[in-house]
Chain A
């Protein structure tokens, strides 16, 4: 499947159905973060020059693949590299994960979405969960770069799923690692240390949380009790990220009125106080089911190839 180092000139790539393997964005680096999560750096100078923390890209692995949005985890404008971190959850991420350094993917577009707002936030608490930590990391780094005080709390299901701990340590004034089963760091949910910190009377200008919807819902509830504003990243509900499908619509409740927004165009960041999480969680299930089935199909396919 891998292209043999041949990149087509930009203007030649207009045939609607390209031959298999004729791809054009090079994978500069690939690193396994844990058994389910992979780091890649993709060559795209235009995106590398522009992307800011909180923004995302859309990629397609090959000419028959699905478009998937992934958050920019970092950039290297000098080399033109854009890093992405993804969890293998469906057919597309499975196929992406099967690609190696030096290989190519067919499409990579961005940066999309509004960058995370940093103005006026001197003390920030970043709460990341699972692979959401990959999205939270560039946000933490950006606040660090701006010289702000960064408190990070990252949570995972268990020790073998912990990612980016060293990277977070480097850009945080304090870091707490949580695991659900206590196999690493402290045992419990990310809301536990958040609550403890807030109960000591400590104030943050804002809590920024990125992770599973259920986690963001409870982080928001916790922070709200103490009157701390919350930004949530609605990345998990995005489908194709171009603003045209409406699949990522969510409801904000503002002054008692329900307002429809699109995560990919209006977000991905929203005011956590306003988001109807229960509705978002219900909607999120629809595609999960399909992804799981497609994932199993691809897994079997690749297994077949290996044999």
Chain B
């Protein structure tokens, strides 16, 4: 079989157009493009891609089904391992996971596995005829705390095994970071909604507006007849840099900015939720959330958006496609720079000046890369005297989040590490009998797919525990 060195490009919205709308950027493969890309898979014997997938999807098998034009068959294979295929096809960092190990990728471009996964999942949603059958109940009840990627995966896997699952969500709508964090243009809310409805068809119940740790405690859940509890409450508490000026008006956490924009629909023409728009925006950080915040700011009408990151482009942790898209859209990258303070307006002669306290700029210092640190990444070192100021009106801090202390504070006997993460063993088991945890609540801020992987592992451990 002939080798096709280049991957099939996926159609995208024109950068000039999409920079002003919230519609999805990537448009997905057509049947012909998907078939062409599927042909590139060598179907090699050792299947390294499967090992690169945190939920071990049988990747070559589903691609083979695409080659055979059996898209529903491909969906069934993906669905065996993943509860949220149309989400993962869009947000997984495939270039560091499955695609990074692709045999074809050793000499050429790897197979675009993520794009194919997305194609299959979207095909199923639009045209698929078979709907998941609700399994016979096995009489066991499991409570899932949080409806983000780990909770949804855990709920889906258990429901498929006949467990009666109730998911508790603190917000007014389920989906966790998939709805409040990831913007519409990257993951349309309708897709998350679709995945949630398919879980409902499996019998999963969703109870919104319930804060576990407050409305009910974990102990109360256990006492009320649940046989096990999975905690997937995420890492919601934003971090700040602790530099001067972070309390100025116009400094947001990325969480606040994105939540206001996403969940509270500030992107609709007449939002009721306060969010500031326009002007010059600096986003501090280099992860996916920073890219999301920068691109959201642009779409909300910012004149200029600058991403400030302390290492170089090579170390930038965001998904490659998002960085490329951000650059195409005209977002500036101020690399090897680190903020030292945020400057605010201060009229000494008039303390009642309404402009007082508003951000006017951000002072940064240039960095160079020094010796590699413990994770092997070269540590950025300040270049003395290289400070400079960027004039901005808004600063968005996107330097990570830590777990919300609510469940820790209200659940006695639950062991927590010094970063506030819940301590679990390899199967997601916590220090409390029958209580499991996974996702950012355990690891601190990480990726959607790693949270899904943790939800999956915990679901199988819960099944084992309750089958004894």
Interface residues of A (CB under 8 A from B): 10-11, 13-17, 46-47, 50, 60, 64-67, 91-92, 106-112, 239-240, 242-247, 249, 251, 260, 262, 265, 279, 282-283, 285-287, 290-291, 294, 297
Contact B406 A243 (CB under 8 A): yes
**Which 6 A/B pairs are nearest by Cβ-Cβ distance?**
A245-B256, A244-B236, A246-B253, A290-B274, A109-B209, A282-B357
Known: A11-B205, A242-B236. Is A286-B214 also a contact (CB below 8 A)?
Answer: no
In the complex, chain B residues whose CB is within 8 Å of the CB of A244: 180, 236-238, 255-256, 259, 401, 404
Q: Is the interface of B mostly helix, strand, loop or mixed?
A: loop
In the complex, chain A residues whose CB is within 8 Å of the CB of B196: 14, 16
Neighbour of B264 across the interface among A66, A110, A279, A285, CB < 8 A: A66
> A286 vs B205: C-alpha distance in the bound complex, in angstroms?
40
Known: A245-B259, A246-B256. Is A265-B237 also a contact (CB below 8 A)?
Answer: yes
Q: Is the interface of A mostly helix, strand, loop or mixed?
A: mixed
Contact with A along B384-407 (1 / 0, CB 8 A): 000000000000000001001110
Interface residues of B (CB under 8 A from A): 170-175, 179-180, 189-190, 192-193, 196-197, 200, 205-211, 214-216, 236-238, 240, 242, 246-247, 249-250, 252-253, 255-256, 259-260, 264-265, 268, 270, 272-274, 276, 354, 356-358, 401, 404-406
User: Smallest CB-CB separation from A92: which chain B residue?
Assistant: B272
Neighbour of A247 across the interface among B173, B174, B210, B256, CB < 8 A: B256
Which one of A111, A244, A286 has the greatest number of beta carbons of chain B within 10 Å? A244
Contact A14 B259 (CB under 8 A): no
User: Smallest CB-CB separation from A10: which chain B residue?
Assistant: B207
Contact A109 B273 (CB under 8 A): no
In the complex, chain B residues whose CB is within 8 Å of the CB of A247: 252-253, 256
User: Smallest CB-CB separation from B275: which chain A residue?
Assistant: A290
User: Smallest CB-CB separation from B207: which chain A residue?
Assistant: A10
In the complex, chain B residues whose CB is within 8 Å of the CB of A107: 172, 208-209
> A239 vs B268: C-alpha distance in the bound complex, in angstroms?
20
Neighbour of A243 across the interface among B180, B250, B404, CB < 8 A: B404
Known: A265-B405, A283-B357, A291-B274. Is A46-B253 also a contact (CB below 8 A)?
Answer: no
Contact A91 B259 (CB under 8 A): no
In the complex, chain B residues whose CB is within 8 Å of the CB of A47: 215
Contact B215 A16 (CB under 8 A): no
> A287 vs B272: C-alpha distance in the bound complex, in angstroms?
12
Which one of B174, B208, B209 has the greatest number of beta carbons of chain A within 10 Å? B209
Contact A260 B208 (CB under 8 A): no
Having A67-B172, A251-B247, A260-B242, one finds 15 other A-B pairs with CB under 8 Å, namely A10-B207, A11-B206, A14-B174, A47-B215, A67-B264, A110-B214, A110-B215, A112-B211, A244-B237, A244-B401, A245-B255, A246-B255, A283-B247, A283-B357, A285-B357
In the complex, chain A residues whose CB is within 8 Å of the CB of B216: 46
> A30 vs B404: C-alpha distance in the bound complex, in angstroms?
35
CB distance from A197 to the nearest CB of B (A): 31
CB distance from A24 to the nearest CB of B (A): 9
In the complex, chain A residues whose CB is within 8 Å of the CB of B179: 16
Neighbour of A245 across the interface among B174, B250, B253, B357, CB < 8 A: B253
Contact B205 A10 (CB under 8 A): yes
User: Smallest CB-CB separation from A25: which chain B residue?
Assistant: B209
In the complex, chain A residues whose CB is within 8 Å of the CB of B357: 282-283, 285-286
In the complex, chain A residues whose CB is within 8 Å of the CB of B247: 249, 251, 279, 282-283
Known: A285-B357, A287-B274. Is A265-B211 also a contact (CB below 8 A)?
Answer: no
> A158 vs B15: C-alpha distance in the bound complex, in angstroms?
57
In the complex, chain A residues whose CB is within 8 Å of the CB of B401: 244
In the complex, chain A residues whose CB is within 8 Å of the CB of B237: 243-244, 246, 262, 265
Which one of B173, B175, B210, B270 has the greatest number of beta carbons of chain A within 10 Å? B173
> A66 vs B255: C-alpha distance in the bound complex, in angstroms?
16
In the complex, chain A residues whose CB is within 8 Å of the CB of B210: 46, 109
Contact A240 B274 (CB under 8 A): no
User: Smallest CB-CB separation from B237: which chain A residue?
Assistant: A243
Contact B272 A260 (CB under 8 A): no
User: Can you identify 18 A-B contacts, CB atoms within 8 angstroms?
Assistant: A10-B207, A13-B208, A14-B173, A14-B206, A14-B208, A16-B189, A47-B215, A65-B272, A67-B172, A67-B264, A106-B172, A111-B215, A112-B211, A242-B170, A244-B237, A245-B238, A245-B256, A249-B246
Contact B404 A66 (CB under 8 A): no
Known: A246-B255, A283-B357. Is A109-B272 also a contact (CB below 8 A)?
Answer: no
CB distance from B344 to the nearest CB of A (A): 9
Neighbour of B250 across the interface among A16, A111, A286, A290, CB < 8 A: A286
